[in-house]
Amino acid sequence: MSSIGQMIRQERFKQKMKQSTLAEGICSASHLSKIENGTAIPSEEVLQLLLNKLGIEIKELSHQDESRIISSLQAVYKEGILKRNKEEIREYLQQFAEHKIHFQNLHNFYTYNLLMFRLFLILQDQDQDLSPFIEALRSVEDQFDHHQKFIFNINVGLFEFFEYKFHSSLLSLEKNLELTKKALLEDWELADFHSILGNIYHKNGENFSSVNFTTTALEYYKNHLYFERAMDCYILLGISYRNLNHFKKARENYSLALKLAEDFNLPYYKGMCYHNLGTLYSLEGNSEKALEYFHISLDLKKTEQHHGKVLVTIHALIVEYSKLGNSMLVLRWCQKGIDYLKNELTQDRSALPITYHYHFSIYKALHTNRQNLDHLLKEAVKHFEKTFDLRHIQKYSILLGDHLFHQNKFKLAGEFYQKANNVIYKQRNVEKWEDL
């Protein structure tokens, strides 16, 4: 079956256009519905009018060219997942920017869109709204085979993850646990799925499950010499073991990741390893070693221009100096963080600059005269509620509750203590205190 109807539906979803709007002046809405569902074939005239209204051109392919494109895309898809070669992915996607491909085989059309969607997710382009694409795929989910459903569930899970919907993301990915028995999957696809699932379990506070799935993925990456993916797994294992208070196992995994990063001279990964080792020393009460490692991490990250990672370590330095009660250095690093936001992230439209603006401003107020602190904390809590950042909702709610309590604003303090308590319920996925 031809993909023309699905292509029209997909483009309409992308442009957030109603069926009645697209059909107006061309055909009835019911006829357009049949075209999109594949139960009616449009005339050449109707087809061209619909395409003109959508502002797209289509490229007709022979069966041979169709197979060649799918084969080429599958190779780019595998390489993109295992090596995260973003520039090559971006270059590949640009080939299809001007024309929409009209597949004669509808199964190929579904495969093409599912694989392309995952490549877009790897790029994480902030200027591109992917929600219409996911809705278009949802509308035909019941027509996918087992392998396509497997890829679809990963796409949905990752999309929800990037939208900060961590619990929904986990539910989408867990659908694949049964599909791994039905779909014909290659080992690298299973490793990719297990590494993603390990990360999502970690985000949902299920650290034992995170360790189990990440360890399985790690074995594949080590055995097939995908060292950067192996480092991702070592670092995630380190974080999960740290959360389980298994500090020795955490250090072992961070150290293994660091050795690989040094062997292959990868400053980005070295920066992450030193940061996580610094966090471990901080939890163990060794501030001197923690600060040493945070400074090494920051120097490495700055050379690589990874802005988000730079901000993470600046924040870690501020927190460590705050724990030591060194207000002078807290304020110095708060100002460095604020300057970095102004100089390096002025065009960044993600939540990142706002998030760190709150972090730095709160610690700055906390270590000066506390003027405007309650207002800052209230705004920060609202922001972290929008981004589903449970850790900082709890952390800043406790700080605000304490601040208000010492001002004798007991009722308002109680509201924020309750907000902090509610995080525990969400983390444990329970509704009643008896279930804690």
Question: What confidence category does residue 187 fall into, taking pLDDT thresholds of 50, 70 and 90?
Answer: very high
What backbone torsions phi and psi does residue 145 show, to the nearest 5 degrees? -80, 180
Q: Full-prediction pTM beyond 0.75?
A: yes
pLDDT of residue 97: 65
Top pLDDT among 286 and 21 is at 286
pLDDT of residue 426: 80
pLDDT of residue 126: 59
For range 57-84, the mean pLDDT: 88
pLDDT of residue 6: 79
Do 373 and 403 touch, CB atoms closer than 8 A?
Answer: yes
pLDDT of residue 49: 86
For range 202-216, the mean pLDDT: 95
For range 36-41, the mean pLDDT: 82
Question: What confidence category does residue 2 fall into, taking pLDDT thresholds of 50, 70 and 90?
Answer: low
Q: Which of 332, 284, 294 is nearest to 316 (CA)?
A: 294
What backbone torsions phi and psi does residue 329 show, to the nearest 5 degrees? -75, -30
Residue-wise pLDDT for 242-282, tens only, equals: 999 999 999 999 999 999 999 999 999 999 999 999 999 99
| Mean pLDDT estimate for the chain | 90
pLDDT reading at 347 higher than 80: no
For range 217-243, the mean pLDDT: 97
For range 111-121, the mean pLDDT: 93
355-361 long-range Cβ contacts below 8 angstroms, 24+ apart: 355/383, 355/384, 355/387, 355/389, 356/311, 356/314, 356/315, 358/383, 358/384, 359/315, 359/318, 360/314, 360/315, 360/318, 360/334, 361/334
pLDDT of residue 99: 67
pLDDT of residue 127: 63
Q: Rounded to whole angstroms, what are the CA distances from 219 to 183, 215, 236?
A: 21, 6, 14
433: exposed, middle or buried (Cβ count in 10 Å: 0-12, 13-18, 19+): exposed
pLDDT of residue 368: 93
Q: What percentage of the chain carries pLDDT values higher than 70?
A: 97
pLDDT of residue 48: 85
Mean pLDDT lowest for which of 8-22, 224-238, 285-299, 392-406?
8-22
pLDDT of residue 250: 97
